[in-house]
Amino acid sequence: MERQFKDERTGCVIYAPLGATLIHATMRPCDLIPAFLNAIRDTAEYAQIMQSINGTNWNMCVITDAGASDKDERWDSEDISYFFNEELWEIMESYAPEGYYFGSHPGDGSDYGYWPEESANI
């Protein structure tokens, strides 16, 4: 199975499989955010996010802090919650090819990926 696809609008490679799991068995921002960011690492949005994190507030710096543990209180901050639920989620959805959606699998809320739209009706 191909573990990546090319976005037709931008030509950017998205490092996620179509119709299969990107990340599974977690709903923790400290697991999901790095996996989602890795999937869009060749996009303009990724570059903008990384540039804005440098010099932004302390909570957002947890994303790039190599020394941050999964227990770091910053992962539970309102800043991270907003970034994940509003900004990053919207970016991930924007790269869903025609006939697919980005989100959790209908049969498993902790199975994230780009799923065929017909699977949403399961």
Q: How confident is the model at residue 122 (pLDDT cuts 50, 70, 90)?
A: low
Q: What is the mean pLDDT of residues 88-99?
A: 97
The whole-angstrom separation of Cα 34 and Cα 99 is 25
Measured distance CA(52)–CA(93) in Å, rounded:
21
pLDDT in tens, 9-20: 999 999 999 999
Structure confidence at residue 53 (pLDDT): 86
- Where in the chain are the domains? 5-121
Query: Of 54 and 29, which is predicted with more confidence?
Result: 29
Mean pLDDT of the chain: 93
Strands in 108-116's sheet, in edge-to-edge order, are 21-24, 108-116, 100-105
pLDDT category of residue 2 using cuts at 50, 70 and 90: confident
The model's pLDDT over 40-92, given as tens digits with 9 standing for 90+, comes to 999 999 999 998 887 678 899 999 888 899 999 999 999 999 999 999 999 99
Whole-model pTM? 0.92
Distance CA 45, CA 114 (A): 18
Q: Quickly list DSSP for 26-43.
A: ---HHHHHHHHHHHTTTS
